[in-house]
Amino acid sequence: MSSKKNNKFTFIDLFAGIGGFHLAFHQHGAECVFVSEWDEPARKTYEYNFKKISPDVFKTGNFVGDITKVDPKKIPDFDVICGGFPCQPFSQAGFKKGFEDKRGNLFFHIADIIRKKKPKAFFLENVRHLLNHDDGKTFETIKKIIEDDLGYSFHYRIVKGTDFNVPQHRPRLFMVGFRNKKIPFKFPEPVKLTKTMSDIFGAPCEKKVGYTLRVGGRGSSITDRRNWDSYKVNGKVTRLGIKEGKKMMGLPANYVFPVSDAQAMKQMGNAVVVPAIAAVAAEILKTLEQHYAD
């Protein structure tokens, strides 16, 4: 049974956060058929912004919470599985327990869905430290499961926001693969960075490339080494707000946070840089178009 609807490729959005993958794939003509996000404030933001874009997901009960409680067979057919699976087990900020942390085990639920649904492709994202976690054993385990157990190809690259004209480094590990291992795939080449933090603030800023948005620690002094949200703008110390945060994540101007400012900043700290995801999404969809043209 084809999972192409109205000649569009379809995708599912796991560990969806505020929908960076959804925005990226939708921008390139793909259709979302299933979403999983357990965090209630993030669900509120997600539903507010995507109910008009993808109404069927919400009407059909395919906007779910805990993915571990979902039978993969009940997920609608789809072409691409997307997910920035929880990174705390692998990040510098976390305890780096990896697979020993139950959040790290969520990767195995992704593998189970791929095994049972057999999508044409996958696009997964995590912190760059996953590559070297436990002397590279964690990454090798993931790679082996995908290549040997599931039979998919496996391509990976560290991608930064600055690679796609967003003035925030935010290096992340992108992993892409196809059910047909013979399908060639190349990650898109970085573009020239023309935007700076002066563009983000709309006024002269001393820093050209911004700090990576984080989940906690807001409001540290500009001289504090933990500072990530204070900048010198027009010679004055200025705190990064939601408007500037949205620009740094590549979110559209009409994207709305129906939550508190603190919650909104936290959600952006957990999000993906949309232009970086969109560039890779476009390449995946172009590749599928070439090899699965109806």
Any idea which residues carry the catalytic annotation?
87
Q: Which residues contact 144 (CB under 8 A, 6 or more apart)?
A: none
Residues 251 and 264: their CA atoms lie apart, in Å, by: 12
Q: How far is CA 225 from the centre of its chain?
A: 27
Residues 17 and 36: their CA atoms lie apart, in Å, by: 9
Residues 27 and 281: their CA atoms lie apart, in Å, by: 9
